[in-house]
Every structure is written in C-alpha cells, then in structure tokens.
C-alpha cells in the first residue's frame, strides 16, 4: 500500500453542511487556522464544486437525499458532526461512507485530527477500489490471454510457457498489462513477436 503523508491543508476548500450556529462558527475558526476555507450549506447540498476537498455534515439531522450523490459513494472525504448515539442514527451515518467524525459541540481540538484521519481513510478506500477494479478487468480479460497464447503457439510452434513469456515480454515493453495487450493484439502484431525465421515459416504456412 502507498505510504500516506499528512497533507498540507492550506488552500483547501470544504463545505460545512450544517445549520450555522456558535459551534459551527467555532469549527470555521479552527479550519481557518489551518488555511482551510469553508462555506456553510443547509438544508441540502445541491452540487459539489470540484475545488471542494472535504464535507463536514450534520449527522444528527441528516436524511436521505442530503447529498448530490448516491449514498455510500462520496467523491470527497465525509466528516460527520454528531451528538446522538442512537443506533439508527449511527447506522444512517455509516451508510453515507464517512471517513471520520467530530463530537458536538465542536471544541477547539480534534478538527485537525479529523481532517487527517478522513484524508487517510478516503485515500485508502480509493486505492482499494482501484485495485478491485483492476482485478475485475484482468479477470474479464483472461479469455483473451488464453486466446492469444494459443495463437502464438500456433504461429511460432512454441509450447505454452514460451508463448506466454513472449506475450509478457511484449506487454512489458509497451508498458501494458498482459491482459490489456492480449485484448488489443491482432494476427499482425502477434507475428511481429516471433523471431524472423519463425515469422517466415509461419507466413509460409498461413
């Protein structure tokens, strides 16, 4: 896993999805100390500016449809602001895909830690999703690998291991995965992988 470095929050923009009150103004002051600009929104976040790096939201009064994205799939780290410990309320908050939380009333400490933990958790989740997506793609393309190995075996009179090694070397040379190379390979490109003598003999048989 990629090493996580504590981000420099200076210049960040965040949204505080909460009624503006004394506690939220205290939160805004703490954020300003770290160079973070915040804007308030309530009762709903209509859209998310691409410049926004995180969203703090009222976990006590949140409801379905609070965010302009599907529940559990936030495009930025979510930090819940909560006082309630009711099981149903906690379940709803967790279902939103939060990365961290702050207990209300917000105090002068804890905001920085919440930002760091949220950033780390979100980065981990994105990295895991990328790995899963890559694995799914590779599994989906496995039949292409088998097809290409058989094609190279026919063209070059190679055994399976040599054919795969030939394909793998070509994929590495092009900085592609074996699966991606096989998905785009055609007969001409496969013949180009073979030594010249085998190319000539293969073309002669074709």
Locate the domains of the chain by residue range. Answer: 13-134, 141-205
For residue 3 the two structure tokens come to 């090493």
**Rounded distance between C-alpha atoms, residue 16 and residue 102, angstroms:** 12
Q: What are phi and psi of 140, to 5 degrees?
A: -65, -30
Contacts of 191 (CB under 8 A, 6+ apart): 155, 199, 202, 203
Total-model pTM? 0.73
Q: From first to last of its 206 residues, what are the pLDDT tens digits of the chain?
A: 566 677 889 999 999 999 999 999 999 999 999 999 999 999 999 999 999 999 999 999 999 999 999 999 999 999 999 999 999 999 999 999 999 999 999 988 899 999 999 999 999 999 999 999 888 888 888 899 999 999 888 887 678 998 899 899 999 999 999 999 999 888 777 888 776 544 444 433 33
The class of domain 13-134 in CATH terms is: alpha beta
SS3 15: strand
Alpha helices per DSSP H over the chain: 22-33, 87-95, 111-140, 142-156, 160-173, 178-184, 187-191, 196-205
């Amino acid at each position: 896993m990629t090493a996580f470095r504590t981000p420099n929050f200076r210049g960040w923009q965040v949204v505080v999805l909460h009624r503006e009150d004394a506690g939220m103004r205290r939160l805004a002051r703490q954020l300003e100390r770290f160079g973070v600009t915040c804007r308030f929104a309530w009762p709903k976040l209509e859209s998310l500016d691409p410049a926004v790096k995180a969203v703090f939201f009222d976990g006590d009064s949140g409801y379905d449809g609070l965010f302009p994205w599907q529940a559990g799939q936030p495009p930025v780290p979510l930090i819940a602001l909560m006082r309630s410990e009711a099981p149903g309320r906690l379940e709803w908050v967790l279902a939103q895909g939060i990365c961290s939380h702050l207990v209300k009333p917000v105090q002068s400490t804890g905001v920085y830690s919440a930002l760091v933990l949220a950033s780390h958790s979100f980065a981990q989740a994105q990295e895991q999703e990328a790995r899963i997506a890559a694995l799914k793609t590779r599994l989906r393309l496995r039949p292409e690998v088998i097809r290409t190995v058989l094609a190279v075996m026919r063209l070059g009179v190679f055994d399976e291991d040599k054919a795969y090694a030939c394909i793998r070397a070509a994929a590495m040379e092009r900085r592609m995965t074996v699966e991606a190379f096989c998905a785009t390979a055609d007969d001409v490109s496969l013949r180009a992988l073979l030594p010249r003598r085998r190319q000539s003999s293969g073309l002669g048989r074709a």
